[in-house]
Amino acid sequence: MRFTIFQESRKGGREINQDRIAYTYSRETLLLVIADGMGGHVGGEIAAQIAVRLFVERFHQEAKPLLKNPLGFMQDTMLRAHAALGAYASQFSMLETPRTTCVAVVVQGGQAYWTHVGDSRFYLLRQGKLIGSTKDHSKVQYLVDQGVITAEEAAVHPDRNKIYSCLGGLVEPVIDLSRRTALKNGDILVLCTDGLWSVYPRSELATMLTSTPILSVGPRIIRDAEERGGPDGDNVSAIVVRWGPETLTDDLSTTTDALQPGEFATEIEDTVTLTDRTGNSRDLTEDEIERAIAEIQSTIQKYRK
């Protein structure tokens, strides 16, 4: 495989960053995943952390070096993450289960597969045009689908942040799965949270990513989104991949040929919650942070097999 990849996450106007992002790949398979912890629920950042790490750890178990069933793998991991969040809340007697959205993409054999829960998005761009995407599990998307409001009205609707499916919710999540889609050199894959897509029109994003090397334009897009969001802006996160050789710059693209069977390259943030599980807004001590990491990892271990 050959591709160029960029990822970054910023807290925007929020006190803490509840987004988690990661990518990992073997010689023949690539996984991209983003989770956006739900700020209105205690431990949103814990939920996002569990979801992303569970995807990565299960990928390392299952991609040997290929996933037998990419869509089945992603659906099963979503359900395991949902169950893990319920177990975490029960174990620590939390009044409310931590919740998160999630979007994940697998590329294998030159084919892309994707899945999502909630309103974290995926776009697949070819020559500046959208050829594949997720559809938000949200109230405003439902209103758009029913013809009640337009897409432009949805962008400023007061209920635009209300979603009806998430991991950790009271009911089983709605998990959308894509068709298998063949990639061509130059295709661009974008995963992002609402802190980006809510302030960056898709057409503008497509133009910038198609005409400029992603390693130079990616950081600028994240900074611009953070500025556009202003003091009330949400966390801003994105993973961007240009499939095939990078033709717009002399920068070297990533190749996986050197990886040995069973070997993985991974980029994942290891930070953990800055609020305690009862919802108090205070910094954790170093001992509390270490204990929180151990608790999260213990939960992941139970649900990754």
Torsion of CA 117, 122, 124, 129, to 10 degrees: 110
* pTM for this prediction: 0.92
State how far the Cα of 305 lies from the Cα of 301, in Å rounded to an integer. 7
pLDDT more than 90, % of the chain: 68
Identity (one letter) of the amino acid at 44? G
Residue 251 has pLDDT above 50, yes or no: yes
Residue 122 has pLDDT above 70, yes or no: yes
Identify the band that residue 274 occupies on the pLDDT scale cut at 50, 70 and 90.
Answer: very low
Residue 97 has pLDDT above 80, yes or no: yes
Q: What does the buried/exposed string (b/e) look like for 208-238 if buried means 16 or more CB atoms within 10 Å of the residue's CB?
A: bbbeebbbebbeebbebbbeebeeebbbbbb
State how far the Cα of 114 lies from the Cα of 132, in Å rounded to an integer. 10
Identity (one letter) of the amino acid at 5? I
Residue 242 has pLDDT above 70, yes or no: yes
User: Which H or E element spans position 281?
Assistant: none
Residue 129 has pLDDT above 80, yes or no: yes
pLDDT (0 to 100) of residue 278? 52
Q: What does the buried/exposed string (b/e) look like for 55-80 if buried means 16 or more CB atoms within 10 Å of the residue's CB?
A: bbbbbbebbebebeebbebbbebbeb
Domains of the chain: 2-134+175-303 (3.60.40.10)
State how far the Cα of 264 lies from the Cα of 295, in Å rounded to an integer. 25
pLDDT in tens, 157-213: 777 778 899 999 999 999 999 999 999 999 999 999 999 999 999 999 999 999 999
pLDDT in tens, 49-95: 999 999 999 999 999 889 999 999 999 999 999 999 999 999 988 88
The larger pLDDT score, comparing residue 222 to residue 149, is at 222
| Mean pLDDT taken over the chain | 89
SS3 156: coil
State how far the Cα of 78 lies from the Cα of 259, in Å rounded to an integer. 27
The larger pLDDT score, comparing residue 189 to residue 268, is at 189
Identify the band that residue 250 occupies on the pLDDT scale cut at 50, 70 and 90.
Answer: low
How many CB atoms neighbour CB 50 within 10 A? 30
| pLDDT (average), residues 140-154 | 76
Q: Check the CA dihedral 217-218-219-220 and report its sign.
A: positive
| pLDDT (average), residues 251-269 | 87
Torsion of CA 19, 4, 297, 35, to 10 degrees: 30
State how far the Cα of 47 lies from the Cα of 59, in Å rounded to an integer. 18
The larger pLDDT score, comparing residue 295 to residue 227, is at 227
Identify the band that residue 285 occupies on the pLDDT scale cut at 50, 70 and 90.
Answer: low
